[in-house]
Structure 1
């Protein structure tokens, strides 16, 4: 009974989110409330369980970085970068998109992709405002690029951190094994942009000429605050990179950085809280509770186990099945809880594979499938939800299906490119 009910609640909530008949935050919170009220999950499951509860690390990482972005916005640095990018692209909207996509993907390899999206979105809005073009295609392209670029390293995407911990894989393991395919995927994605966003690059020549006359240095409104932000951001990033040394979770690092920056900036509350996406944070709360119900009742575990049983003892078949299944399920169910559930099952499969390279291929298939699969739908990855929230607050809402139409194409292409890479590197030439 609880299994069927948890599936029904999640399905109905997901349909409401996808159809946009009900606001996604209301749908997610209502679904979470139902599974709590009927007793599928209790307070211990919701607030204290790492397996079935709210992922507080994700929520507080988002909150901390949103506050930091709110303070940083007061300096004028986003206007500076916007003008710089537009001038380097010589006013071409397509070149601006390519430049911002490459910046986003590169940053996502060394920062959490949600953090990257929070930093790049304000820049994008300002560039598009200067060129008088719609920002929606640019925002979608950037979040797709962030999920691709985040696959390159251990710290680029939360699912990679889970996999690294479970499999004992280091930062260097991820870098040397996944960065090559990510670079290939980015090249393919860049070539795909003109077709994927056809009709989005018309710019008035006079507007482009006006942009070329702008002086980016004049955009900096508060140089002293910018220096303070630079120091705090440097310390925050050092905390992210220095996790093995300091043993501080990224969420705590972000909150500490936000607190220090609020203290030394002297800004009023309305300024540093203006960038906080409260609706997005509450949406995650409801989503985590509903998915926790699916985890507790064994639904996700059964799906993952069924997929692994189909592979038998054939490592190549297992690798390809994990890649495809992970891409599909991660697009429907947030890739963080999916990877957390799938990791123990992949670990069981690895024990039956004698060849070390082929055993590692199972882990790389899980990482690539989950990371690239996050692009499949608007709720497939945390960065997607955050970007949609930013777009809505900026009066440029992106619908579930508008995002998903592009995401399906990009996910299909990236998985098709990843499959031969895994076969060639770990099986054909292992």
Structure 2
């Protein structure tokens, strides 16, 4: 009975989120509350299932962005970026894809979209361009780029912490080539789909080229303090594999440093008012919903079923891990899913599978790229949707899925060929 309740509440909440008739945070939190009311979870369990590190990371980056944007530096960056491509929509889309993918690989995708999306939306509004193609590109390329490195996407960070011999260069060496292939194909498809909808307005472009970007920047202590805190935080992210400090601690430290430095200039209450609370509470509700599935053993049963079906065969297990993690990560957030799968992969060594690295790489590829399927498939998706909604550019759930699901399926097909040729051929002899 408890299992059916947890599953029913999750499915009902998911369907209501898809309809978009109610605020997604209210729906997710209501689902979490129902799990408590029906005693599927108690409060201690519910709080335990919430990934507070992710919440703290998001909150800290929101604080950094909230203070920094008051300096006008984001508007400056937006104008400079637009002037670099001379206000042309298609080159701007390409720059958006490249910036997001590279930034997501060498920072992390959540930080990248938090820093870039406000700039992008400011730019789109100035040029009177449709926001959806650019937001879609940002989300897809953030998840694709984040797949390439240890710190690019939360699932990779979790896998890197679980496997001692995986380093930053290991992820880049093993996942970088297939990520580059997928990125190139997806960008080509996006350009093919949207290039005729991105109309170049010569008048607006000329107005933009005549603008003085520096007029938007307020040069004072706030600017220097904001840039200092941001640069220190970003440097900390990049040095994460060397200094062995988790990125949440780095982000929280950066946010607190900036709050201390700007305490006399901006009231903390004003900063907190601009935090995307809807996004944070949506994550809390989502973690509780997935926690309900974990509590009743549904996710564990999926994992055990994989072992029974594969019979411990390396090629079959790797392919199953790739596709199941990819498909499920589009439905549930990939962070709790990977947390549930890590012990399963570790147990495979107890069944006589000495080298399980191909399975780890399959899990990383599936979880990261599967997140492109829906708006709740990955942390970056939820963050972009929240920022876009606050700027009056909401992303429809179904509309995104119509593009996201095909991209996810194409990505998994490419990864299947890649994993098979690079890792699994020796196991067939």
Judge conservation of contact 2:147–2:368 (CA < 8 Å) in 1. yes
Matches within 5 A, 1:66-145: 66-145=62-141
Judge conservation of contact 2:168–2:241 (CA < 8 Å) in 1. no
Q: Return the offset for 1:238.
A: 3.3
Query: In 1, distance between residues paired with 2:304 and 2:418?
Result: 25
Q: Return the offset for 1:165.
A: 2.0
1:156 aligns with 2:148: no
For residue 298 of structure 1, what is the aligned residue in structure 2? 297
Matches within 5 A, 1:40-79: 40-47=40-47, 49=48, 53-79=49-75
Question: Are the structure 2 counterparts of residues 71 and 30 from structure 1 closer, same or farther at C-alpha, using a change threshold of 3 Å?
Answer: same
Matches within 5 A, 1:152-231: 152-168=148-164, 169-231=166-228
Judge conservation of contact 1:69–1:275 (CA < 8 Å) in 2. no
Query: In 1, distance between residues paired with 2:283 and 2:79?
Result: 34
**Which of 418, 423, 428 is matched with 1:421 structurally?**
418
Query: In 1, distance between residues paired with 2:426 and 2:78?
Result: 45
Query: In 1, distance between residues paired with 2:14 and 2:178?
Result: 32
Q: Return the offset for 1:87.
A: 1.5
Question: Are the structure 2 counterparts of residues 354 and 55 from structure 1 closer, same or farther at C-alpha, using a change threshold of 3 Å?
Answer: closer
Judge conservation of contact 1:131–1:208 (CA < 8 Å) in 2. yes
Judge conservation of contact 1:74–1:222 (CA < 8 Å) in 2. no
Query: In 1, distance between residues paired with 2:118 and 2:35?
Result: 36
Note the alpha carbon deviations across 1:250-272, whole angstroms, 9 max, x for none.
22322221122122122234652
Q: Return the offset for 1:57.
A: 0.6
1:396 aligns with 2:388: no
**Which of 351, 360, 363 is matched with 1:363 structurally?**
360
Q: Return the offset for 1:275.
A: 3.5
In the superposition, the TM-score normalised over structure 2's length comes to 0.94
Note the alpha carbon deviations across 1:237-292, whole angstroms, 9 max, x for none.
23334445655432232222112212212223465235311111111111111111
Query: In 2, distance between residues paired with 1:20 and 1:199?
Result: 28
Question: Are the structure 2 counterparts of residues 33 and 224 from structure 1 closer, same or farther at C-alpha, using a change threshold of 3 Å?
Answer: same
Q: Return the offset for 1:389.
A: 0.9
Which runs of 5 or more residues in structure 1 are unaligned?
A: none
Q: Return the offset for 1:354.
A: 5.6
Query: In 1, distance between residues paired with 2:352 and 2:358?
Result: 10
Query: In 2, distance between residues paired with 1:353 and 1:140?
Result: 43
Judge conservation of contact 2:50–2:284 (CA < 8 Å) in 1. yes
1:385 aligns with 2:382: yes
Judge conservation of contact 1:67–1:272 (CA < 8 Å) in 2. yes
Query: In 1, distance between residues paired with 2:193 and 2:323?
Result: 22
Note the alpha carbon deviations across 1:33-92, whole angstroms, 9 max, x for none.
011122221222122x3xxx1111111111110010011101111112111211221221
**4+ residue stretches of structure 1 with deviation over 6 A?**
none
- Mean Cα deviation higher: 27-36 or 343-352: 343-352
1:11 aligns with 2:11: yes
Question: Are the structure 2 counterparts of residues 2 and 287 from structure 1 closer, same or farther at C-alpha, using a change threshold of 3 Å?
Answer: same
Query: In 2, distance between residues paired with 1:40 and 1:394?
Result: 37
Q: Return the offset for 1:201.
A: 0.8
Question: Are the structure 2 counterparts of residues 312 and 32 from structure 1 closer, same or farther at C-alpha, using a change threshold of 3 Å?
Answer: same
Matches within 5 A, 1:239-258: 239-243=236-240, 247-258=244-255
For residue 322 of structure 2, what is the aligned residue in structure 1? 323
Which runs of 5 or more residues in structure 2 are unaligned?
A: none
Query: In 1, distance between residues paired with 2:410 and 2:241?
Result: 35
Query: In 2, distance between residues paired with 1:35 and 1:112?
Result: 32
Q: Secondary structure at the match of 1:276?
A: coil
**Which of 397, 404, 407 is matched with 2:404 structurally?**
407
Question: May I ask how many residue pairs the two structures share in their alignment?
Answer: 424
Judge conservation of contact 1:335–1:380 (CA < 8 Å) in 2. yes
Query: In 1, distance between residues paired with 2:114 and 2:270?
Result: 16
Q: Secondary structure at the match of 2:87?
A: coil
Query: In 1, distance between residues paired with 2:81 and 2:189?
Result: 21
For residue 272 of structure 1, what is the aligned residue in structure 2? 271
In the superposition, the TM-score normalised over structure 1's length comes to 0.93
For residue 33 of structure 1, what is the aligned residue in structure 2? 33
Query: In 2, distance between residues paired with 1:316 and 1:215?
Result: 58
Question: Are the structure 2 counterparts of residues 244 and 192 from structure 1 closer, same or farther at C-alpha, using a change threshold of 3 Å?
Answer: closer
Q: CA RMSD in A?
A: 1.9
Judge conservation of contact 2:315–2:424 (CA < 8 Å) in 1. yes
